[in-house]
Amino acid sequence: MAITLINCSGVSFRSVNKIFLIMNMSFDLNLRVPSHVTVLNWVKKQGVANFRDKDYFNNEKWILIIDESIQFGNKKLLAILGVPASKQNLGRALTYKDLVPLVLKSSESWKANDIESEINSCIHQDQILYALSDNGNNLKSTYSQMGLKHIEDVGHKFSWIMKETFEKQDDFEAYTKHLSGMRGKLSLSKFAHIIPPNQRIVSRFMNLTPLFRWGSKMIKLLDKNQLTEDEREKVAFVNEYRELIYNTDQLLSTLNKIQQLLKNKGFSEQTINQSLELLENHNDERSLKVKEKISKYFCETSSKMGNETTILCSSDIMESCFGKYKSIVKANKYVGITDLCLCISCLMGENDAEQTMQSMAKIKIVKIKDWKEKNIGETLFQKRNKLYKKTG
């Protein structure tokens, strides 16, 4: 129950203790109340237990999902997850239960040779059907060296297509600059309720929808005369960008539908045709460029399918894993990457009560320490403590 609260409810390790106490008081139960250190060790034990020996992967073909986290201190976390090839035809998006962790390891940098070495250490290359990831240069070099098929993540690809089409376009840059200026001037004013949503600095082209959805709503409010005179004055600039806002909002809505289709149903001839049908009514200049680039992406990806009728094209599950980890460590980012990253592998697999009990009995604390030394090394927190001790 404690592990499930961490994995599924997003509560902190210290909150689990309080939840048990409240349940005992509310329902007159007599549950033993674990300390936060105990819960932490349980999560780490389950995380270590979910890793498999190399021979485990010989029973069928596997799809690898690979990514590296943002920088934590001076290190990045490399994550390699495995998905059985049989899971690509389920007609739904992947869940944590579909995954098997292969690698969770930190390093100051991850070059192609390093990533190749980690892959070979945990799975035989002939068992890999293809690798799914973004278009990072180090990852592309790894696949090239190993001769692996690389399926580009549809979310990152669509983001790149939007960037290639819209970046440095005068009206787009002017519109987003207006939004940024409006947020800076009005966020603490009486007009705070009409300011546009925040724009992400990193990967901003992955999250354009809220900016243009806001613009569309402001245009409708202006047309229906639903704003005060002062409010109209503050958002009047959207009239200059009516065509850009309308066309882009409609295009982004369609692209989101296509992504949902491909993420849930997989990449197949049927979903390709359905996606292209959704794009048929978009015929302005920029939409035509986007359609051309998407068609090229579909053709290139189709050529890599081989005998498979459906393949995976979304690595969202990896982003979700990193998100879970970031939510746990966000309170103290200066610790860097620690063995808390085992919370990622703890999420995975079919962990029923019996399997969990076996993991608790099988994995000793010393095994967690061994895993940490091999995969994490000296943490930022440990380095800082060593330095401070020199002060006497």
DSSP string over 59-74: GS-EEEEEEEPPPBTT
Task: Find residue 101's DSSP bridge partners.
Answer: 81
Asked whether the beta carbons of 239 and 215 are under 8 A apart, the reply is no
Task: Give the pLDDT of residue 279.
Answer: 95
Q: What's the CA gap between 365 and 378, in Å, rounded?
A: 18
- Helix ranges (H only) for 202-241 are 209-223, 229-235
Instruction: Give pLDDT, residue 201.
Output: 62
CB 313 within 8 A of CB 132: yes
What pLDDT score does 242 carry?
95
The CA–CA distances, whole Å, from 163 to 203, 209, 246, 279, 289 equal 9, 13, 18, 18, 12
pTM for this predicted structure: 0.90
In the chain the domains, ranked by start, together with CATH numbers, are 51-152+319-348 (3.30.420.10), 158-302 (no CATH)
User: Which residues in the chain land under pLDDT 70?
Assistant: 71-73, 200-203, 331-335
351: which DSSP letter? Answer: -
pLDDT at 169: 92
pLDDT at residue 351, rounded to an integer? 73
Question: CA–CA separation, 132 vs 101, rounded Å?
Answer: 15
